[in-house]
Structures are given as C-alpha cells and as structure tokens.
Amino acid sequence: MKKMYLLFSHILTQEQFIDARENLGVEEFIKLPQELQELWSNIPPDIVDISSYLKPIKQWLQDHIKLGDIALIQGDFGATCKMVSFVKEKGAKAVYATTKRNVQEKLTNGKIIKTSVFQHIRFREF
C-alpha cells in the first residue's frame, strides 16, 4: 500500500487528495504526529544549522517510510532541501504541490480588496 507522508503546514484540499490517489497511486495519507508537526511548522529563523533540529522528524520518517512511498515536502527552504535528500536516500519519492494563483480585486467601501485564490494543479517530483 503506497503512503504519502505529509511534511507541510497546510491541510490537503480535496483536489490534492484526488490527484495523489489517481496520479500517484496513494492509498493512505500520513500526517506528522502533533509534536513533530509543531517542529516542522515553526522552524526558528535564527538557527544557523537546522540539522539537529530536524533529527526527530528524520527519526520518525526513518521508522515509517518505505521504498516506493511518497513524501509531500513543503516549508522552510533549507529544511525542505534536507528532507528531500533524506527521503530520496530512503528510496521514497519527494514531491511538492504546484498551484495556479487567481487574483480577484473588489472595491469595498472605497478600498480595493485583493484576494488570492490558489488552485491545485499537480504534484511535481523534486
């Protein structure tokens, strides 16, 4: 059973679930445990080397990810690079989501309100 491990700070959209199932063959979606999700979502910008900071996440993946599984990795650029390399070393595939941004402007009470709506397009392999 192919699994997708979610190393990112958002909630998957219905479009993303469907895309992962239909185009990547994903059968199960695995979120980080809450304490690791907190680490991933709050990487301190003042740390020079984040290798030690990422160790608990790497250990969790080491214990769970299997050959042929997929990891959706998005977040801090440095952490993303490190985790993509780690996942690939384990024989898994690393992907990120691509989106199309639709900008809408609306005049409300004399002010222009700009809203960006992001639409999932596909997953792309690193």
The token pair at 65 is 């990810």
- The answer to whether the CB of 57 falls within 8 A of the CB of 32 is yes
Confidence of residue 118 (pLDDT cuts 50, 70, 90): confident
57 is in which domain, residue-wise? 3-125
The closest alpha carbon to 24, from 5, 41, 52, belongs to 5
pTM: 0.87
Count the domains in the chain. 1
Q: What is the mean pLDDT of residues 121-126?
A: 96
Q: What is the largest CA-CA distance in the chain?
A: 56
Q: What is the mean pLDDT of residues 14-23?
A: 97
SS3 content of the chain, % helix, strand, coil (to 5): 35, 35, 30
Query: Mean pLDDT of all residues in the chain?
Result: 95
pLDDT at 116: 85
